[in-house]
Amino acid sequence: MNGANDNASGVAAALEVTRRLQQHPLRGSSHA
């Protein structure tokens, strides 16, 4: 179950990063 829990945490982190990029598209474009 630890592996599944870690995987869920990784997915949640990825979703949070995606939201931040969507909130600041200009910053994401300039960074890329």
Task: Determine if the pTM surpasses 0.75.
Answer: no
Q: Could you tell me if residue 31 is inside a domain?
A: no
Token representation of residue 15:
């979703």
How buried is 12 (Cβ within 10 angstroms: 0-12 exposed, 13-18 middle, 19+ buried)? Answer: exposed
Number of domains composing the chain? 1
Helices and strands: H and E segment counts in the chain:
2, 0
Which has the higher per-residue pLDDT, 15 or 27? 15
Which has the higher per-residue pLDDT, 27 or 5? 5
Q: Which amino acid is it at 27?
A: R
CA distances to 2, 25, 32 from 7, in Å: 9, 27, 26
Q: Could you tell me if residue 20 is inside a domain?
A: yes
Q: Could you tell me if residue 11 is inside a domain?
A: yes
Token representation of residue 9:
């945490």
Q: What is the pLDDT of residues 6-23, one digit of tens each?
A: 889 999 999 999 888 887
